Amino acid sequence: MTEANPRPQLAHLTAVLDDLRAKGTYFHLRVLDDQQAPVCHYDGKEVINLASNNYLGLANDPRLIQAAIDATRTYGVGSGAVRTIAGTMRLHMELEEKIARFKNVEACVVFQSGFAANAGTVSAILGKEDYILSDELNHASIIDGARLSRASIKVFRHKDIAHCEQLLQELAGEPGRKLVITDGVFSMDGDIGPVDKLAALAEKCGAIMMVDDAHASGVLGRNGRGSVDHFAMHGKVDVQVGTLSKAIGSLGGYVCGSRDLIEYLYHRARPFLFSTSHPPSVAATCIAAFDLLEKEPERIMRLWANTRYFQGELKRIGFNIGGVTTPATETPITPIIVGEGRKAMEFSRALFEEGVMATGIAFPTVPEGKARIRLILTSEHTRAQLDQALEKLERVAKRLGILQ
């Protein structure tokens, strides 16, 4: 026990931290000094930023900033209540109607975050008699929602339709409802969930189909409409979750589906009922962001052009960007597989010193032995910035023995 914490009550926490230090996976928070931009400053150091989820540069788009300022001037800084008491503002309703039209569904409800949307929805629509069939790499918010629902959780191997089908067949005689759930894009590997095949399977077995499009929103499908649009599965997915925190540039999560699904969530989703709604600035920002998605598809084209260029160069240099013992990326999420956790963290730190912000990710976020740095391209990176980052990545990787 350290001297700084002489009280024994929380000594078990200190022990965990000591263990992380010993394993080399303890981290400090890096602090952003300016805007979430392709080149910015963390801890006072200028870096090429390849770590954010600001896919389309919307987090600091001048028009979105103006929308936030205008809404704040007109409506104030807070909503003052949960949605069901007195905190539903006209802007909240406008945003939901806008998203529902964009996604071509009957209705939409916005939550405070994507995490709240997943956890609040899964736990509300199922009960302890029911079953959840969940991809092994699904996001933590799905897992927490599944646990909160008290339904039985059956985990299928990553993107393994046959395994999911086998689990569903084993449950065929059970009276409980079944929910099949997958990420639209998997956040650590960047591969796309088999939404088309899973939805067809769910349909065949009478199961509910749900997709978490956090990393697909604004990235996949026409104008960034997500994985259901990407696979042309409109009407075949009962529950579509998206986030407003990544490509949309602000904060929040949403659920799209039938009018009854949304009305039910108004009455039963606990983050909706028991946590205050977004400030008006957030709703106004998101409304402006969906306008931009519809008006400026060229942002998404630039995002994909940057992705193809950068991933092609990484492969040419000889990096393992997945596809051998880990899934192959199909999106702007770009892992560089390193293996050992300590080494991945060392790579990330050394890159930072050279001026590249690249997140190190180790167990338990990814499996043991598959630690990595994860890079995310945006539409706003210039070719010159990407070339500079590639040069630094190669030099540092060679120095650390990650590349020969």
Ligand X SMILES: *Cc1c(COP(=O)(O)O)cnc(C)c1O
Give bridge partners of residue 180 from the DSSP assignment.
133, 209
CA-CA-CA-CA torsion sign (104, 241, 290, 38): negative
CB of 141 to ligand X, least distance (A): 5
The answer to the question of residue 79 lying near ligand X (CB under 6 A) is: no
Tell me which of 55, 102, 115, 352 binds ligand X, using CB under 6 A.
115
Residue 111 CB, nearest approach to ligand X (Å): 8
Q: Are 36 and 247 in contact (CB under 8 A)?
A: no
By rule CB under 6 A, what count of residues binds ligand X? 14
- Tell me the catalytic residues: 187, 215, 246
Cα 250 off chain centre by:
13
**Least Å distance between CB 186 and ligand X?**
7
Q: Which amino acid, 160?
A: D
Query: Which residue of 187, 277, 306, 385 would you call a contact of ligand X, by CB under 6 A?
Result: 187
The dihedral of CA 255, 260, 263, 268: what is its sign? negative
Contact predicate 353/403, CB 8 Å: no
Contact call for residue 253 and ligand X (CB under 6 A): yes
- Phi and psi torsions of 66, nearest 5°: -65, -40
Least separation in angstroms between residue 253's CB and ligand X is 5
141 binds ligand X (CB under 6 A): yes
Tell me the residue number closest to ligand X, measured at CB.
Answer: 114
Tell me the closest approach of the beta carbon of residue 240 to ligand X, in angstroms: 12
**CA dist., res. 240 & res. 266, Å (int):** 16
Binding mask 196-225 for ligand X (x = CB under 6 A): ----------------x-xx----------
Question: Token digits for 261?
Answer: 């699904």
Q: Which of 25, 118, 277, 281 binds ligand X (CB under 6 A)?
A: 118
Residues forming a β-bridge with 233: none
Partners of 253 in the beta sheet?
A: 111, 243
25 binds ligand X (CB under 6 A): no
Count how many residues are written for the chain.
404
Q: Which residue, among 370, 315, 368, has the nearest Cα to 337 in the 3D structure?
A: 370
60-68, 114-122, 123-131, 301-309 -> range binding ligand X (CB under 6 A): 114-122
245 near ligand X, rule: CB under 6 A: yes
98 binds ligand X (CB under 6 A): no
CB of 11 to ligand X, least distance (A): 32
Residue 183 interacts with ligand X (CB under 6 A): yes or no: yes
Q: Is 164 helix (H, G, I), strand (E, B) or coil?
A: helix
Other C-beta atoms lying within 10 Å of the C-beta of residue 300: 21
113 binds ligand X (CB under 6 A): yes
Binding site for ligand X (CB under 6 A): 113-115, 118, 139, 141, 183, 187, 212, 214-215, 243, 245, 253
